[in-house]
Chain A
Amino acid sequence: QVQLVQSGAEVKKPGASVKVSCRASGDTFSDYYIHWVRQAPGQGLEWMGWINPKSGDTNYAQNFQGRVTMIRETSISTVYMEMSRLRSDDTAVYYCTRVALLRFADYGMDVWGQGTTVIVSS
């Protein structure tokens, strides 16, 4: 069974950093981009960026450039999303999800992690 399993909830102070992990199982890790999407309380879905686990290439949304870093550890089929200089409005549920490398525009995000709650509060 294909799964993306994320790390547990985090509580951080403003200005700190957070690192969330996403471990893939049940399928070929390197055949899919791993994307990160966040959802603030009561709000919609916001795309943050992706990492290609095969090459390590990344692409970040404008809103997160300079503050988000995505890396992969292929030996354990895990991707990490690190966000620095946290603010209170970064409080959200962070999801990892995947998109096929081939014809990526046509297939959508078919598997999602369970979500990781990040609370930023002083």
Chain B
Amino acid sequence: SYVLTQPPSVSVAPGKTARITCGGNNVGAKSVHWYQQKPGQAPVLVLYYDDHRPSGIPERFSGSNSGNTATLTISRVEAGDEAHYYCQVWDSSSDHWVFGGGTKLTVL
């Protein structure tokens, strides 16, 4: 089955740029979606189709996807961005959806 690999944790100072990676075999050929989840809350879609922001998501959130790595970039990080972030794809070979293991973003 298809596997997505994320770093368990990323730390960043306020105002700096955070980058969270999502690795998978030829993931650049798939549409990657990203979710933010804060404690006790349901996940929220922050990027879809690699780099598209749903309504209401700040422009500070951007994405890229090429080769074996997709990246979520958060510019000018704020304390409120502290959360777990999950990447996700649809795997056509199994017709199943897959989540990465999640990355805890800590704002120092």
Contacts and interface: CB of A to CB of B under 8 A. Distances in A.
Contacts of B47: 108
Interface residues of A, number: 23
B27 to A, nearest CB: 13
A47 B98 contact: yes
B12 interface: no
B45 A108 contact: yes
Nearest to B92: A105
A105 B90 CA distance: 6
A107 B49 contact: yes
Q: Is the interface of A mostly helix, strand, loop or mixed?
A: mixed
B96 A61 contact: yes
B45 A110 contact: yes
Range of interface residues on B (Cβ < 8 Å): 20 to 34
A45 B96 contact: no
Interface string B68-90: 00000000000000001010111
Given A45-B35, A61-B96, A113-B42, A104 B101 contact: no
B42 A59 contact: no
A111 to B, nearest CB: 8
Nearest to A110: B45
A45 B37 CA distance: 10
Nearest to B44: A112
Contact of A35 (B44, B49, B97): B97
Q: 5 closest Cβ contacts across the A-B interface?
A: A108-B33, A108-B48, A112-B42, A105-B90, A44-B102
Interface of A: 35, 37, 44-47, 50, 59, 61-62, 95, 97, 104-110, 112-115
Interface of B: 1, 30-31, 33, 35, 37, 42-45, 47-49, 54, 84, 86, 88-90, 92, 95-102
13 contacts: A45-B37, A45-B86, A46-B99, A47-B96, A47-B98, A97-B43, A104-B90, A108-B47, A108-B49, A108-B88, A109-B43, A112-B42, A112-B44
